[in-house]
Amino acid sequence: MAAAVHLTGVERTFADDEIIVSKTDPKGRMTYCNDIFIRLAGYSESELIGQPHSMIRHPHMPRCVFKLLWSRIESGNEVFAYVINRSGNGDHYWVLAHVTPDLGQDGAIIGFHSNRRTVDRKALAVIEPLYASLRAIENGTADRKAGLEASSAQLQDILAQKGVDYDQFVLDL
């Protein structure tokens, strides 16, 4: 569905007191979306439920950040991340995401829960150029895997220089 959507360059926003909520199964297929998510994503609930959460992935979002995010949550950890999403009509919206694994009674991951809040515009002044540089690395080679590995290494180098992990980097902005 979302793959054929063109980008409009129009940013959608939501109120500071609104929280976007979604839940997925362990494979990332949506099992729940609140009304705020539905409104911003620009799809109906029936178009979202059962679909991969990646259907709202914006092409300006570096793949290495998603790799880091999935690595963290699949290992049972929470993660905070700035994310740009794409609406069904090609608009976009920025969020500060807090993603956590949902655990069953036996401790196994049975899904993921994500709360997203409005972004700090000062933080975007740091995030947008960082993400652009990571995308440039990812897109700088015909080998997608090599591009992803190079951008992941660059991100880890930046974090190591700052002496923080990605969550702390995000929360310090």
Query: pLDDT tens for residues 64-108?
Result: 999 999 999 999 999 999 999 999 999 999 999 999 999 999 999
pLDDT at 2 over 70: no
**CA–CA dist 134, 152 (Å, integer):** 8
What's the pTM? Answer: 0.92
Query: pLDDT tens for residues 23-53?
Result: 999 999 999 999 999 999 999 999 999 999 9
Query: pLDDT tens for residues 113-167?
Result: 999 999 999 999 999 999 999 999 999 999 999 999 999 999 999 999 999 999 8
Taking each helix axis as running N to C, give the angle between helix 63-74 and helix 121-139, from 0 to 180 degrees, rounded to the nearest 10. Answer: 100
Could you tell me if residue 103 is left (phi over 0), alpha (psi between -120 and 50 degrees) or otherwise beta? beta
Sign of the C-alpha dihedral, residues 38, 50, 111, 80?
A: negative
> 99 to each of 41, 55, 77, 141, 154, how far by Cα in Å?
18, 17, 9, 30, 23
Per-residue exposure over 43-67, b if at least 16 CB sit within 10 Å of its own CB, e if not? beeebbeebebebbbbeebbbbbee
Backbone Cα Rg of the chain: 16
CA-closest candidate to residue 21, choices 7, 3, 39: 39
pLDDT at 22 over 70: yes
- Dihedral, CA of residue 122, residue 16, residue 103 and residue 85, to nearest 10: -60
Strand partners, 95: 83
pLDDT of residue 4: 64
How many other β-carbons are positioned within 10 Å of the β-carbon of residue 146? Answer: 13
Task: Please indicate whether residue 3 or residue 21 has the higher confidence score (pLDDT).
Answer: 21
Domains in the chain: ranges and CATH: 7-164 (3.30.450.20)
**CA–CA dist 49, 34 (Å, integer):** 11
Contact 134, 154 (CB under 8 A): yes
Q: Quickly state the pLDDT bin for 1 (edges 50, 70, 90).
A: very low
Average pLDDT score, the chain: 95
CA-closest candidate to residue 69, choices 43, 108, 87, 96: 96
pLDDT at 9 over 70: yes
